[in-house]
């Protein structure tokens, strides 16, 4: 059980284009999955935060109730099953309707899967905001939706920024599950490279390092972004 | 005098506990009404019903003869006329002071940004907070926060402001700066309903005083009637317990 590091390096150089293609696809899936997942999560947790009110008309109450049930089912299913299974199931289930490519299906599935996690993240972010701000907003005459858009969601995003960012890191790694479709992301590329040279340890070492590089860069970027948001706040204080 | 709020037979309970057991009340234009009474007597619930933050179980509430509990009544527009100031300030943490004052004006009253800002600054001056326009609201002292909250309500050009224990969460040295602001509003003729435990202030500022006890208004009258010549033993006991 020894690793030939030189051979590892050779494999990297020989298959540079394949590795880079895999990296590119992985980055694409991680970013698209996280961005659209966040949008889905905001939408879903936003809808969920609009509670049924005494002053609502009957049809509105029914619609809100149904929306809540659909959302709960969505989160239940997508958090409770592996993305690998979701990918295969939904790709074939909708293939004859959408006529979609593996790439399209993969992007949609990672976004919807991430959305379920984001919905829970944002929901707890919303829960952390004191109820008083919502009441103050309503007492000024802002509607439920306005309160959500201008008061609740901006703070929920800020509160849960570390967890939202963490989903990007999770997606860099978990996009590898989409190799089953197949999607030619980094893990899939590695399987084919290792399948032809049969030097699994040397090949997967490269892959592991590439994943580490990606996740570290993502962490760094997230930290910078967070710091920048912090600086923006400090600026407001300086003006006062 | 114009009737601003009329409450008839208002009842409200929570999980089987009767909190308001039939309230009748009239608030006239330009009137300052304070609501006093021991903890748990239903003062906040009454105020919250008027703002529809709580929805009454039965009874009626009229705002200038409009039934605010009627189907299809525009609650949001109503609330923009009848604002509430809370014990815990409830400023919006994602906006600076100015943003807190302009949001409702722009989104609810559809005022232009410039107009909203002008009105906001005018009201910050009224509460003595004009130097803190761009301050982060989380960095303000309690008294400053409450003055900003009052300016936020004023910026909506409301017809009534409801105050729920505006000074109860404040350190003693900050109570007066807030009471002084409310007193100024009373002198300006603003219609207000104020729940308070500050009896000297209540005596000083109120046209009418409602003494609540166990979900009913047990005694109602002018400030001197309630504070100097209370008719009911209950009222006397309550006032004595506060030793004023
Ligand atoms: N949202 C609620 N759910 C359940 N019970 C409530 C709710 N709001 C108020 N109550 C109950 O109703 C009763 C009256 O409460 P309320 O806050 O109106 O009293 P209060 O007179 O304002 O008292 P305080 O002086 O302590 O503020 C209390 O027993 C309280 O526990
Ligand atoms: Mg109270």
B8-20 pLDDT tens trace: 999 999 998 999 9
pTM: 0.89
Q: Which two tokens stand for residue A75?
A: 């989160």
Give, for all 240 residues of chain A, the pLDDT tens digit. 678 899 999 999 999 999 999 999 999 999 999 999 999 999 999 999 988 887 788 899 999 999 999 999 999 999 999 999 999 999 999 999 999 999 999 999 999 999 999 999 999 999 999 999 999 999 999 999 999 999 999 999 998 999 999 999 999 999 999 999 999 999 999 999 999 999 999 999 999 999 999 999 999 999 999 888 775 444 444 433
Say how many Å lie between the CA of residue B193 and the centre of ligand 1: 17
Residue ranges in chain B whose pLDDT is less than 70: 243-244
Kindly state if the Cβ of B44 falls inside 6 Å of ligand 1. yes
Kindly state if the Cβ of B191 falls inside 6 Å of ligand 1. no
Whether the ω angle into residue A113 lies within 30 degrees of 0, i.e. cis, is no
Q: Which two tokens stand for residue A112?
A: 């919807």
Which pLDDT does position B243 carry in this prediction? Answer: 63
Which pLDDT does position A103 carry in this prediction? Answer: 96
Domain range for A189: 5-239
Number of Cβ pairs closer than 8 Å across A and B? 88
Which pLDDT does position A237 carry in this prediction? Answer: 42
Name the residue of B11, B16, B43 to mutate for ligand 1: max ligand atoms within 8 A of Cβ.
B43
Count of domains in chain A? 1
Which pLDDT does position A18 carry in this prediction? Answer: 95
Which pLDDT does position B71 carry in this prediction? Answer: 87
Which pLDDT does position B79 carry in this prediction? Answer: 96
- How much of chain A exceeds pLDDT 70, in percent? 95
Say how many Å lie between the CA of residue B39 and the centre of ligand 1: 8
Kindly state if the Cβ of B14 falls inside 6 Å of ligand 1. yes
Residues 6 or more apart in contact with residue A186 via CB below 8 angstroms: A19, A22, A23, A25, A26, A176, A207, A210, A211
CATH number of the domain that residue A17 is part of: 1.10.3720.10
Which pLDDT does position B244 carry in this prediction? Answer: 57
Residue of B76, B93, B134 lying closest to A141 (CB–CB)? B76
For residue B212, the ligand 1 atom closest to its alpha carbon is 21
Residues 6 or more apart in contact with residue A18 via CB below 8 angstroms: A189, A192, A193
Kindly state if the Cβ of B213 falls inside 6 Å of ligand 1. no
CA distance B232 to chain A (A): 35
Q: What is the pLDDT of residues B43-80, one digit of tens each?
A: 999 999 999 999 999 999 999 999 999 988 999 999 99
d(CA A67, CA A114): 19
CB atoms within 10 A of CB A191: 17
Say how many Å lie between the CA of residue B37 and the centre of ligand 2: 10
- ipTM for the predicted complex: 0.93
């Amino acid at each position: 059980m020894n690793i030939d590091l030189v051979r590892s390096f050779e494999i990297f150089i020989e298959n540079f284009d394949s590795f880079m293609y895999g990296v590119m696809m992985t980055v694409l899936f991680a970013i698209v999955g996280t961005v659209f997942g966040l949008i889905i999560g905001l939408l879903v947790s936003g809808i969920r935060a609009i509670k049924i009110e005494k002053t609502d008309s009957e049809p509105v109450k029914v619609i809100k109730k149904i929306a809540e049930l659909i959302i709960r089912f969505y989160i239940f299913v997508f958090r409770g099953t592996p993305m690998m299974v979701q990918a295969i199931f939904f790709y074939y289930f909708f293939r004859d309707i959408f006529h979609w490519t593996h790439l399209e299906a993969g992007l949609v599935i990672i976004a919807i899967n991430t959305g379920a996690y984001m919905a829970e993240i944002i929901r707890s972010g919303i829960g952390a905001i004191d109820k008083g701000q919502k009441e103050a907003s309503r007492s000024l005459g802002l509607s439920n939706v306005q309160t959500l858009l201008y008061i609740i969601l901006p703070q929920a995003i800020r509160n849960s920024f570390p967890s939202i960012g963490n989903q990007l890191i999770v997606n860099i790694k978990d996009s590898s599950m989409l190799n089953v479709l197949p999607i030619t992301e980094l893990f899939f590329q590695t399987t084919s490279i290792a399948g032809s040279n049969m030097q699994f340890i040397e090949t997967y070492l490269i892959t592991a390092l590439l994943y580490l590089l990606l996740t570290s860069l993502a962490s760094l970027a997230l930290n910078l972004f967070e710091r920048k948001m912090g600086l923006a706040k400090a600026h407001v204080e300086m003006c006062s | 005098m114009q009737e601003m709020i009329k409450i008839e037979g208002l009842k409200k309970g929570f999980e089987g506990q009767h909190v308001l057991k039939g309230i009748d009340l009239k608030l006239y234009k330009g009137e300052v009404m304070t609501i006093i009474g021991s903890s748990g007597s239903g003062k906040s619930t009454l105020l919250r019903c008027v703002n529809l933050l709580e929805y009454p179980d039965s009874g009626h509430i009229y705002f200038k003869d409009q039934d605010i509990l009627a189907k299809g009544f525009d609650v949001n527009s109503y609330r923009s006329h009848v604002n509430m100031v809370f014990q815990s300030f409830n400023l919006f943490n994602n906006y600076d002071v100015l943003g807190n004052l302009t949001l409702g004006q722009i989104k609810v009253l559809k005022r232009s940004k410039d107009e909203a800002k002008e009105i906001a600054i005018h009201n910050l001056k009224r509460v003595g907070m004009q130097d803190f326009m761009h301050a982060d609201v989380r960095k303000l002292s309690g008294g400053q926060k409450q003055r900003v909250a009052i300016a936020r309500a004023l910026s909506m050009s409301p017809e009534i402001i409801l105050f729920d224990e505006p000074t109860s969460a404040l350190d003693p040295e900050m109570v007066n700066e807030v009471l002084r602001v409310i007193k100024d509003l009373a002198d300006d003729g603003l219609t207000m309903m104020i729940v308070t435990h500050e009896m000297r202030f209540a005596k000083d500022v109120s046209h009418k005083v409602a003494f609540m006890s166990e979900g009913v208004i047990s005694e109602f009258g002018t400030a001197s009637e309630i504070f100097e010549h209370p008719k009911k033993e209950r009222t006397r006991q309550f006032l004595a317990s506060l030793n004023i």
